[in-house]
Structure 1
Amino acid sequence: MITDGAGRLLLVRKAGTTAFMQPGGKPESGESAAATLIRELAEEIGVRVTEDDLTSLGEFVAPAANEPGFRVVADVFRVDIGSQQPVTDAEIEAHRWVDATDSADIEIAPLAAAYFLPTV
């Protein structure tokens, strides 16, 4: 969960999909949730963080946005990216800063919509 100074939530959309979601991804063999996030943020949006920049928010479960009939189980962290600006890379096609009022015109993944967008 990355927010900016205006309280907006950073969401990304993978190529070939329609839903915007938090940046992140699946762990590689033996990788911790924190290490996965650190690697995925660098790969997907060019943001470099350390474990000291992460605050665990816990594990959350929601329907998967891009895989009907499946659920996503996510270890979620609040991340301080300082003054870094995200740049789309790897499989990410778009990124967008959103809040509850300007998110009506895009599809938001169930995990972000249910747990994080309302709190922004």
Structure 2
Amino acid sequence: MTTTLLIAAVCLLDEHGRLLLVRKRATRAFMLPGGKLEAGESPEAALRRELREELDLSLDEQPLQALGRFLAPAANEANTRIDAHIFIARLPHPVSPAAELEELRWHDADGPPSDDLAPLLLEHVLPALARQRAH
């Protein structure tokens, strides 16, 4: 049986248009910052909560631009898929990993994808960002 997790995640872009990726402790795949929605929580509220916990980042005053909602296999959990609300925001200041995050990495949106990216990134987010840049 497959489980579906409802999550919210964000494409945090720096001044050069690079995408911030995170890797959780004891995992291999890099993914977008974000996490699971709690009962009754909106995607935006969940994302703001997760960013405070994982990156000590407050985007409370910054608008979140919706990129889309996508289904993909979970990167780190067997028999699980994610239903992801994805947003875009500018990273207002440098951040460092906290909570369960072990590593941060920048991804050049115009560069080739590495082989350690989560399925959501490879299958949906990077193509959606490329389409958006083309317009």
TM-score with structure 1 length normalisation?
A: 0.87
Q: For 1:1-120, what aligned pairs fall within 5 Å after superposition?
A: 1-50=11-60, 52-82=62-92, 84-99=93-108, 100-101=110-111, 103-104=113-114, 107-118=116-127, 119=130
SS in 2 for 1:50: coil
Structure 2 counterpart of 1:66, which letter? Answer: N
Contact 2:74 2:119 in 1 (8 A): yes
Q: Helix, strand or coil for the counterpart of 1:57? A: strand
Partner letter of residue 115 of structure 1?
Answer: H
Percent identity of equivalent pairs = 45
CA offsets, 1:38-89, max 9 Å, x none? 010111011110264211122111111001222111011112232x112100
SS in 1 for 2:20: strand
Amino acid at match of 2:122: A
Equivalent pair of 1:3/1:9 in contact (CA under 8 Å): yes
Give the AA of the match of 2:50. Answer: E
SS of corresponding position for 1:107: coil
TM-score, normalization by structure 2: 0.79
For the residue of structure 2 that corresponds to 1:6, the secondary structure is: coil
In 2, Cα distance between equivalents of 1:7 and 1:80: 9
Unaligned runs of 5+ residues in structure 1 are: none
Give the secondary-structure state (helix, strand or coil) at the position aligned to 1:19. coil
How far did residue 6 of structure 1 move?
1.9
* Cα separation, partners in 2 of 1:102 and 1:39, compared to 1, 3 Å: same
Root-mean-square deviation over aligned CA pairs: 1.8
Structure 1 moving runs of 4+ over 6 Å: none
Name the count of aligned residue pairs. 118
